[in-house]
A and B are shown apart, each in its own frame.
Chain A
Amino acid sequence: MRVRYFAWLKQRTGCAEEELDLPAEVLTVADLIGHLGARHPRFAEAAAGRGVVRCAIDQQHVEREAPLAGAREVAFFPPVTGG
């Protein structure tokens, strides 16, 4: 699965994207955040504030309860600031 990071989250992970093979017990976005937190402590810090890290699966906004089954690309980003 490809995981992508945007805006200042890239500075927290040190990369814009990475290709990961996930353990079978990682079933939801919340599980994935926990898994990624072990690799990237500063990402874990940011994700601990629930409103600060948002998620999209295959380019659609999702909540943390969302299942990862079938997902090709998961993205994490701060609240958007366009317009």
Chain B
Amino acid sequence: MIRVQAGLFDVGAELARFTAGRTDIGAVASFTGLVRDRHNGEAVTAMTLEHYPGMTEAELERIEAEARARWPLDDCLVIHRYGRMLPGEPIVLVLTASAHRAAAFEACAFLMDWLKTKAPFWKLEETPEGERWVEARASDDEAATRWER
């Protein structure tokens, strides 16, 4: 399932709901991305995520479908926020459930790697010197290519 929202989410509550009433799931892997207060050694006071409404949901659904095709997942949840957020706040949550840990771990990493290079979000950081758009990192492209086949 995909959720794109402006509001905060509670990782613990999402995790509890994710497995509630399920007795077939043996493993849940999770990744939470948070806003940091520094970037390349410079202070960040807030961040605004712009996105492409419509394409964001469509792209995340394509990425989820790809993960489900590659691994035997019992369930999958991706929450991604947009709008303005403060250091310490969560930006993104990925939960994957499977019978065994390998599929859950791998699918979780895959979802994040693909999301970071395909989902149409752009980060605008607020710093004491003003605003700046975050540049894409070559290491994110490299991380995504390891899943190519």
- Contact of B58 with A83 in the complex, beta carbons under 8 Å: no
- Contact of A83 with B91 in the complex, beta carbons under 8 Å: yes
* A60-B92 Cα distance, complex, nearest whole Å: 22
A59 / chain B contacts, CB cutoff of 8 Å: 52, 54-55, 58-59
B50 / chain A contacts, CB cutoff of 8 Å: 6-7
Docked complex: A47-83 residues within 8 A CB-CB of B: 56, 59-61, 75, 77-83
- Contact of A81 with B123 in the complex, beta carbons under 8 Å: yes
- Which A residue sits closest to B115, measured CB to CB? A83
Docked complex: B120-143 residues within 8 A CB-CB of A: 120-124, 133-136
Category for how many chain B residues contact A: 20 to 34
Main secondary structure of the interface of B (DSSP, over half): mixed
- Return the contact of A7 from the options B54, B92, B124 (Cβ within 8 A): B124
- Contact of B136 with A81 in the complex, beta carbons under 8 Å: yes
Main secondary structure of the interface of A (DSSP, over half): loop
Interface size on A, residues (CB 8 A): 16
A61 / chain B contacts, CB cutoff of 8 Å: 59, 118
Closest Cβ of chain B: how far from A58's Cβ, in Å?
9
* A7-B115 Cα distance, complex, nearest whole Å: 17
A7 / chain B contacts, CB cutoff of 8 Å: 50, 122, 124, 133
B33 / chain A contacts, CB cutoff of 8 Å: 83
Closest Cβ of chain A: how far from B118's Cβ, in Å?
7
Which residues of chain A have a CB within 8 Å of any CB of chain B? 4, 6-8, 56, 59-61, 75, 77-83
Since A59-B59, A80-B119, A83-B119 are in contact, a sample of 14 more A-B pairs with Cβ atoms closer than 8 Å, ordered by chain A residue number, is A6-B52, A7-B133, A56-B55, A59-B52, A75-B52, A75-B55, A77-B120, A79-B117, A79-B135, A80-B118, A81-B135, A82-B116, A82-B119, A83-B121
Q: Can you list 9 A-B pairs with a CB-CB distance of less than 8 A?
A: A79-B136, A81-B122, A82-B92, A82-B115, A82-B119, A82-B121, A83-B33, A83-B119, A83-B121
Chain A to chain B: the 5 pairs with minimum beta-carbon distance, closest first: A82-B121, A79-B136, A59-B55, A7-B122, A83-B116
